[in-house]
Amino acid sequence: MTYRIDPATDRQYIEEFRRQPIGHHSPGLARLLTVMRQDPTGRQVILVCRRPFREWVLGEMPARREDPVAIEDGPVFTSREEAEWEVFRRRWQKLTGEAINLPYRE
C-alpha cells in the first residue's frame, strides 16, 4: 500500500508549505505533496493565467480528452504561490475532511 495521509502526522507540514509553496521542501512535505498531486480520477487541477504575471484563476482538465476545460471565475490570484495555497487547502480538506482556515498571508 502506498502512503496514506495521516492528519496527525502530516499537519506539521501545512505551515511549511504555506511559507514556501514552491521550493525546496522537507522530505515529509515532499511525500505529502506527492500524494496530494495524484488524482486517480484522471482529472487535473490547472492554473489558468489570465494576465501574465498578474492574474490567475483555477481550472480543471477533465479525465476525457474530448471534454472541455472548466475554468473558475474566481477566486482571482495575484501570485502563483497564492493559488498553490488555495489548491493545497482544497486537497487537504478532500483527503482528510479537515478545513484549513488560514489565508496565504496574514
- List contacts with other proteins (CB under 8 A): 21-25, 27, 30, 33-34, 37-39, 42, 44-53, 55-56, 59, 61, 65, 68-69, 80, 83-84, 87
Rounded to a whole number of angstroms, the minimum distance from the CB of residue 86 to other proteins is: 10
Closest C-alpha among 51, 52, 44, 47 to residue 85: 47
Rounded to a whole number of angstroms, the minimum distance from the CB of residue 15 to other proteins is: 18
Rounded to a whole number of angstroms, the minimum distance from the CB of residue 97 to other proteins is: 23
CB neighbours of residue 51 within 10 Å: 9
Instruction: CB nearer to other proteins: give 5 or 45.
Output: 45
∠ CA 2-29-93, rounded to 5°: 75
> Are 63 and 42 contacting, i.e. CB atoms less than 8 angstroms apart?
yes
